[in-house]
Structure 1
Amino acid sequence: MKMALKSSPVIFGWLSRLPRHFSTSSALAAKPMTVRDALNSAIDEEMERDDKVFILGEEVAQYDGAYKVTRGLWKKYGDKRVIDTPITEIGFAGIAVGAAFAGLKPICEFMTFNFSMQAIDHIINSAAKTFYMSAGELPVPIVFRGPNGAAAGVAAQHSQCFAAWYSHCPGLKVLMPYTSEDAKGLLKAAVRSSDPVVVLEDEILYGVPFPMSDEALDSNFVVPIGKAKIEREGKHITLVCAGRGTDTALNAAKELAGSSGIECEVINLRSIRPLDFDTIARSISKTHHLVTVEQGWPQSGIGAEICARVMESPSFFELDAPAWRVTGADVPMPYTRSLEQLALPRHSDVIAAVTAVLGNKISAASSQ
């Protein structure tokens, strides 16, 4: 039975005319580019555009980066703007924050965000809080970037998602790209921001090619921070995800459409903080069902935040069934590859969640 506050046809028609955040890609003009090359292009273009921009981190210069994201930049810009650092995250992150205080625009690369825990005091207490504590007198234009979350076979200390960790902190913007357009446009927006920005990339996606429109190939292309993107339109259920979780959700949506005729609306958040809740709310008003997908742990995760916002807003009355969170397992990441695959959300987990939510049989599914 529909709740009294369900969207009427008139309201739904009005909602459907509101601005949507679709891909900027043009299928006719699209050219493939890997996420790695898109990030490299973004850094190169911003360094060429503004001589205050520089990058530092372990092996970013002569070795061209541990994941080759900074390939060719040292030869082009030299030692003063592409700086190899010792293996001391707390040291070079502190140098980067100090440089931002002085008016430069550093890009601080962590070989993996797991190592950012060594520098978390600088990221939060120095970078995130200084603009507020200086009463707006001292902006901190800095980007912290690198691979985040699980890679493959690197065990518990190298396989955690930091989206919930950093998005918890006021003063930081937190971005999680999925496609090559996301990677380039979001990183360029991060470099141009006057606030500290954490860009959480995914090692597994670095070598994956995605289509890039002519617009995205342009040096002026940016993706606005805080705007989600509808990767796939649907009418039966909303899937909210980010980063590599978007790939999991899209695979599930494709299979559900082919096997059951269930059309999922897949929302790629792109920005974790600020969070584009308006796009989520509009989608819920259409589908009346919600599943969130993330690779991080369940407690205090991004899905938990989204569900809380739904509960605290009129969107709650749009739901025909409780929301479901698909997350990583609530354990440190196993080293064994077979167990690692079980610890990460799979498209089959999303399919099971969608089936349970649409059938309003969550309790039965949860007990299995």
Structure 2
Amino acid sequence: MNRRQFICNGLKLGTAALTAGSAVFSSSELLTGKKTAAETSPIASPFIRKASHWTSLKADSASTGSVKCELCPKGCTPGPDQLGDCKARINKAGELKTQTYGRIVTAHNDPVEKKPLYHFHPGSKAFSIATAGCNLHCRFCQNWTISQALPDSLKAQYISPQDLVLQARKAGSDSIAYTYNEPTVFFEYMMDSASAAREAGLHTAMISAGFIQQPPLLELLRVLSAIKIDLKSFSDDFYREICSARLDPVKRTIAAIAQSDTWLEIVVLLIPTLNDSRDEILRLCKWLISVAGDSVPLHFSRFFPTYKLRTLPPTPPATLLMARETALEAGLKNVYIGNLPGSDGANTFCPKCRSTVISRAGYTVNTENLKNGKCGKCGAEIAGKF
């Protein structure tokens, strides 16, 4: 399969493929472990590159040859030939390497609303890519077949940063989205391709859990156009028990993005009995306003049983409506409901006159009342990048 066939294959499968938790390839193909041409070539694999944000550990009897990864708060210390927790980074002869540079396992030309990003070039297309691996292990992950996989267990295609930009342009995309698995784990490729995209006049968006250290985050903020953070919960216990992570680093990430020029939106997946109490939602909203202001878009999304969390029911519609009402009462101006057809919770309303500025039905978007980033009726500013 050449690069063009790979991209076309991904695009033909459309936006539904990963919504159901599957990748471009079937599960049997995903798990064969069959090597790609790039991996079996006598030439060094293009997927393997020296990683950034790590240090060598002082040689002693306990850590000879070990390194410390400083990309995310887990601070993994893999010994020789050992992987980090994310499975994407490996210690090779005392150097930390990324195994996922340009190692694209899926590609789709998605509506930007699917990310979801509602105040970022609405109605446009985002050329969406993923590699393998993740530094979280969420029990409810929709895309676990790629996020929890070893990189060499998935069928992949090498796409250079420059070729990624070309493919996005050919697809008619306005932006490139790093999504489906956690983009932090392919930091080096994201930096290089986002820089190339910026030079070519394309926007970029990172769809992330936000579990990243501040130095690499600050580097990303210099090249990315937008970041959507999946805020899993406002409970550290939830993060530790359900996601194998912690809450405070994510809060620091959100605060840092809010202080930058990179556009920010937040999504909370409401899971029955785990993170859907009114008290938790209210505390989350008040904190969010304190660090990001009252115009930051907040999306509440509906949970469906999947992966290792199959015993809980889907989120009741009443819970989504309660969450939106709570957020609006707390003072947030742009609050949305996902996965709930028939609700007006997907529309953007003017914060001043309350007229509908952007209407959405599924991925059909009407921006007729959005005029140069302002309400077409009263002229009030609408927060976002349009």
Q: Which has the higher strand share?
A: 2
- Fold match by TM threshold 0.5: no
TM-score w.r.t. length of structure 1:
0.31
